[in-house]
Structure 1
Amino acid sequence: MNLNLTRYLLGFFILFSIFFSAKDLNLNSIEEEIIKNNREGKHQLSQKKLSDILLSGDLNKEEEANILFLMATTYRSVNDYMMCIDYLNKASAIAKQLPEDNLLRMKLDYEYAFVYFDNNQYDKSEEVMKRIAAKKYLNSYPEDNSYILMQEGYLFLLKKQYNEAEKKYYDALKIMQAANSCNLPIVYAKLMNLYSKKKNIAKAEEIYDVSMRVSDSCNVLKYKIFTASEMERIYKENNLFGKAYLIGSELDSLRRLENQEVKISEMHIVDKAYTEKEQLIKEKSDIWKRTVVLSVIILIALLALIYFYKKNRKIKRDKLLMRDELEQMKQELDSYSQNSENLTDSGRYFFLTSDDLTDRQKELLIHLADGLSNKEIAEKLFISENTVKYHTKNIYNILNIKDRKDFFQKLRNN
């Protein structure tokens, strides 16, 4: 009963918090928390917090758009680009109603550029980047400008304009060093690729070592995986298969730690719950309707508590009755077993002449005739008690025996 009561009380308080939380949001604080969680690989914590806020229904348009934007960045951090774009589209639809100079509108452009680029949709990414450049990179986050420079550098790399790419990468590196040194491995990976194209493998290896040290010091697992993957690819591309094999073994260990696919699967489960409830919350937007819904929930919770309380009491009563019946049955069986000791050997094993029984079934009946319990028979025959019961039932049907009492009666008669 205590377990059931705890579950329903917990469910009640969760529902209560959904209806009355998320007021007066501190968007800057929330964004810092989400960025920190995602960087440390705690994407599920980010998604749960953002889902709870969205489910609260107490958001103005700007707050809702910002939370949807942060949900998009969370999905991009686990490489789920389809979900990222979906949330960006939702956020953009709301952001169009905000003032032209609202910072979120520029942040959305940056995020579109990133997700299109990560998803190898370079034409779309370049189109957004041109729009960002036309607005003179108006963004309060220097890291984002570093990312844009890296993407511009990569587009030069694709065109084999290596000097221009190298300049963009080092400009990005300089910004990232000042903004957030823990994100340097992203730039280092781009430089590794550049020097691989220039056939300077030693320089790529040197940068790889620096990148892994930074990832270790910042404790960012995903950057270690990202950098190691890039180095493995470079080795294979340059036919250095021995080195590729060694770094591939290390990469397998890192990926097992991350277990990214499980995270995505679990996040989708939570997201499904958010999607299903989103429409319900929009329909119950005013306080009066929320009060009605909350009252119904409380009533259902109370009825559920009463139902499970009564059910639990009935189960306890049934268990007591069953225990008494089993005890009585045990006493009867003990009595039959004592009586069976006085039977002659020729009468005790009358069933051994039956051709309808297998040797295994006859062996079981011998133990039964000797007065052993189901548990003792199971131990002797190395089977479960349920198997003993199953075989006994079949044997009784074959020999036309009603129950154990009838069995001992037949033993005495024979």
Structure 2
Amino acid sequence: MFNFCRLLFVYIAFFVTTVGFAQKTNPDSLKVEILGLNDKNQHEQSILVLDRIIGSSSSTAHDLFHAYLLRSLTYKSLYNYTGALINLDLADKVGQGTDFAESASSRVLIEKLFIYFDTKRNEEFAALLQQVTPEKLKHIDGETRAIYECIMGHLEMHKGNYSVANAIYDNCILLLEKESPKHLPIVYKVKVELYNLMGQQDKAIAAYEKGMSYAEQFGIDLYKITMLETIIYFYADNGNYKDAYLAQLEVTKQRRKYDAANRSGKLNDLEKELLQQRNDITLKNRKNMTIALTGVIVLLSALLFLLFKLLKSNKQRRILMENEVVHMRARLESYVNRKEHREEDDNVLLNLEKYDLKKRHIEIIDLIREGKTNKEIGDILFISENTVKYHLKVIFEKLNIDNRSSLRG
């Protein structure tokens, strides 16, 4: 029985291990890890890290939401906006009905707003912008808020409100210097555009150099390309085609190095491979689960069978004991009845006066009660043993008994 229970425990442990327990991933640590890999152009490694979370049965809705959100940012950094939007939809779906649903929907909304702005999908951008409320902005971090404000400054700039836009940009710079200085090229890029529109070319060049210095400091190739593209337009707009051409050559070089299209294609292939692996693992786990459950069912069936046999054996033993008790009670009652009958017979024998017994008969009865044998009785009464036997026969007939034991009192 001990070995059986131990084996059952092993099966249950396997079952629990297979199912797993929900574990919550630290979103801040995960974000630092993934964005750090993306900054180093290690996008495939980012996908592998996130896929382990997405493919794990122990991941919570919270884990999955952040994994999809960060996978969206990974695709966005390679200009794969379709892949980015798909993952944002997945993140939004995971967040629905959870205790962080409002926060999730707000963050997805803002990230989609950024994509529509970058891809100049003006109608979709305008529709989402109307959904942004101060309450929704409470759910985004300082880094994301700075990028959002930067877009608001860009809108003011195109309305001709240059001073308002410049004040917004300066506030964004202060916010990013505190929250995440590696993203400062985003603000200095629009600063170049603003100063160019204001006719302040020197400030525009200074803003470009500032933004490029941050891109080089943090080694983010994507921001280097962004700053170079901005300065190309600046040079061309001011008739400096030579520098514009040189900047274009550098952009081409940087883009070839960054190789966003090829990297994005590799990520798509990697995701397909990971999906296939995950499906294979799922099938294998289902098979193992079936085997484990079958084993547990067999063991439980065996346990139930043993319990049934044990109960049946106990029932049979109980029946035997009850029968033995009945027999003992019957024997006891029989013994008591015999004793009562003997006492009744003794009472009858003691009352000898109502029988027609001679004096010699009474003497013989008294000697029998003393335990004397026929021979001893003959010697005492000076008669032969056969005479004693004769008297006993007469006594038995008169008292209506069968043996001498009935004469003992």
Into which bin does the TM-score normalised by the smaller protein fall? 0.5 to 0.7
Q: Give the match for residue 385 of structure 2.
A: none
Number of residues of Structure 1 aligned to a counterpart in Structure 2: 277
Q: Give the counterpart letter for 1:201 in structure 2.
A: Q
Aligned pair in 2 of structure 1 residues 19, 290: CA closer, same or farther (>3 Å)? farther
Mapped to 1, the partners of 2:149 and 2:244 lie a distance apart of 29
| Cα shift at 1:84 | 0.6
Does the Cα contact within 8 Å between 1:22 and 1:53 map onto a contact in 2? no
Q: Give the counterpart letter for 1:74 in structure 2.
A: T
CA offsets, 1:100-145, max 9 Å, x none?
5653332222211111111112333344344333316213520101
Q: Give the match for residue 151 of structure 2.
A: 151
Q: How does 1:104-253 map to 2 (within 5 A)?
A: 104-135=104-135, 137-253=137-253
Q: Give the match for residue 371 of structure 2.
A: none
Q: Give the match for residue 310 of structure 2.
A: none
Aligned pair in 2 of structure 1 residues 283, 164: CA closer, same or farther (>3 Å)? farther
Correspondence 1:82 to 2:97: no
Q: Give the counterpart letter for 1:260 in structure 2.
A: A
Q: Give the match for residue 60 of structure 1.
A: 60
Q: Give the counterpart letter for 1:98 in structure 2.
A: T
Aligned pair in 2 of structure 1 residues 105, 41: CA closer, same or farther (>3 Å)? same
Q: Give the counterpart letter for 1:138 in structure 2.
A: K
| Cα shift at 1:198 | 2.2
Q: Secondary structure at the match of 1:97?
A: coil
Correspondence 1:39 to 2:30: no
Does the Cα contact within 8 Å between 2:24 and 2:60 map onto a contact in 1? no
Q: Secondary structure at the match of 1:228?
A: helix
Does the Cα contact within 8 Å between 2:95 and 2:101 map onto a contact in 1? no
Aligned pair in 2 of structure 1 residues 174, 277: CA closer, same or farther (>3 Å)? same
Aligned pair in 2 of structure 1 residues 97, 248: CA closer, same or farther (>3 Å)? same
Q: Give the counterpart letter for 2:64 in structure 1.
A: E
Q: Give the match for residue 26 of structure 1.
A: 26
Aligned pair in 2 of structure 1 residues 33, 123: CA closer, same or farther (>3 Å)? same
CA RMSD of aligned residues (A): 3.1
Mapped to 1, the partners of 2:128 and 2:73 lie a distance apart of 17
| Cα shift at 1:168 | 2.0
Q: Give the counterpart letter for 1:56 in structure 2.
A: S
Deviates more, 1:252-261 or 1:223-232: 252-261
Mapped to 2, the partners of 1:125 and 1:157 lie a distance apart of 17
Mapped to 2, the partners of 1:73 and 1:284 lie a distance apart of 32
Does the Cα contact within 8 Å between 2:221 and 2:254 map onto a contact in 1? yes
Does the Cα contact within 8 Å between 1:235 and 1:243 map onto a contact in 2? yes
Does the Cα contact within 8 Å between 1:38 and 1:74 map onto a contact in 2? yes
| Cα shift at 1:213 | 1.6
Aligned pair in 2 of structure 1 residues 24, 136: CA closer, same or farther (>3 Å)? closer
Q: How does 1:314-325 map to 2 (within 5 A)?
A: none
| Cα shift at 1:147 | 0.5
| Cα shift at 1:291 | 6.6
Aligned pair in 2 of structure 1 residues 291, 236: CA closer, same or farther (>3 Å)? farther
| Cα shift at 1:289 | 3.3
Mapped to 2, the partners of 1:290 and 1:197 lie a distance apart of 69
Q: Give the counterpart letter for 2:191 in structure 1.
A: L
Answer with 1 or 2: which has the greater Rg.
Answer: 2
Mapped to 2, the partners of 1:71 and 1:124 lie a distance apart of 22
Mapped to 1, the partners of 2:61 and 2:275 lie a distance apart of 18
| Cα shift at 1:175 | 1.0
Mapped to 1, the partners of 2:142 and 2:270 lie a distance apart of 32
Q: Give the counterpart letter for 2:194 in structure 1.
A: L
Where in structure 2 are there 5+ consecutive unaligned residues? Answer: 1-17, 293-409
Q: Secondary structure at the match of 1:56?
A: coil
| Cα shift at 1:209 | 1.2
Q: Give the counterpart letter for 1:198 in structure 2.
A: M
Aligned pair in 2 of structure 1 residues 180, 169: CA closer, same or farther (>3 Å)? same
Q: How does 1:326-341 map to 2 (within 5 A)?
A: none
Mapped to 2, the partners of 1:245 and 1:63 lie a distance apart of 47
Does the Cα contact within 8 Å between 2:143 and 2:176 map onto a contact in 1? yes
Does the Cα contact within 8 Å between 1:55 and 1:277 map onto a contact in 2? no
CA offsets, 1:152-174, max 9 Å, x none?
11122233332332222222122
| Cα shift at 1:290 | 7.8
Aligned pair in 2 of structure 1 residues 199, 91: CA closer, same or farther (>3 Å)? same
Aligned pair in 2 of structure 1 residues 231, 56: CA closer, same or farther (>3 Å)? same
Does the Cα contact within 8 Å between 2:24 and 2:63 map onto a contact in 1? no
Q: Give the match for residue 258 of structure 1.
A: 258
Does the Cα contact within 8 Å between 1:153 and 1:169 map onto a contact in 2? yes
| Cα shift at 1:276 | 4.5
Q: Give the match for residue 98 of structure 1.
A: 98
Mapped to 1, the partners of 2:224 and 2:130 lie a distance apart of 31
Does the Cα contact within 8 Å between 1:20 and 1:56 map onto a contact in 2? no
Provide the TM-score with structure 1 as the length reference: 0.60
The structure 1 segments of at least 4 consecutive aligned residues displaced by more than 4 Å after TM superposition are 18-24, 275-288
Where in structure 1 are there 5+ consecutive unaligned residues? Answer: 1-17, 293-414
Q: Secondary structure at the match of 2:131?
A: helix
Mapped to 2, the partners of 1:262 and 1:156 lie a distance apart of 36
Does the Cα contact within 8 Å between 2:235 and 2:244 map onto a contact in 1? yes
Q: Give the match for residue 70 of structure 1.
A: 70
| Cα shift at 1:280 | 6.6
Mapped to 2, the partners of 1:170 and 1:136 lie a distance apart of 23
